[in-house]
Structure 1
């Protein structure tokens, strides 16, 4: 069993205990992917369903080089707001969506870094992970395939 399979198995257990598909909750790692050059990262978002504000930090690496480091201020969840609360914050994409060896890490309120583990079937799919803070203040990575506006080319794709 390779690292990806081990991490995916752990993530599945966490997902069963959490709302949505949270991966790697509670595990701080620097890098989870073997050099596959197959992942496509199209958009990264963050949400806060907790009744307190939080600050999220996100780092994106492409082929071992840091291509994005961002801090996002996440307001508290407002139960009286629209059904689209908590609002989703989007990380400005500065990386190409062409397949590459991608790595993604995040942390909340200066805590430990946690890596997003691309699912084993990630090859060729365009992923849109969300750093999601739940009602209790716990957080993890929620992942989904994306084909929306975030999947389109950026200047980085063309140059």
Structure 2
């Protein structure tokens, strides 16, 4: 069942918000509810039952959405609504909150840049420095004459 939320309307994992577009046109609550139904995979007849209106009314909502969003395809219209913030997945917000919550947990692996070397506890040097000491050539490799098969 479609429900009224603090900002708009939600069904399943999607929430739609009546929004003023850059063109000056506004997405109405009916249009947003029709888009939320479509984002959840409902066809016009099912959306009509969900919204307590006819499927022709749902078609009219979509025609208005196509005009206001300057497109003629459902996928393009939904993508444009996502871009302007009129439609978003509810689970995505939970993932973002979880990610930012993990960053503040004190785990240094989350905050360390990839290029930063980890210093080992037993020697106080980086792992790369330890590996470089294994060979006798540059960067820990055997001298290049050995690689070429030439022995001195």
Relative to total residues, which structure has the larger helix share, 1 or 2?
2
Q: Which structure is larger by alpha-carbon Rg, 1 or 2?
A: 2
TM over 0.5: no
Structure showing greater relative contact order (alpha-carbon pairs closer than 8 Å, 6 or more residues apart): 1
Task: Give TM-score, length-normalised by structure 2.
Answer: 0.19
Relative to total residues, which structure has the larger strand share, 1 or 2?
1
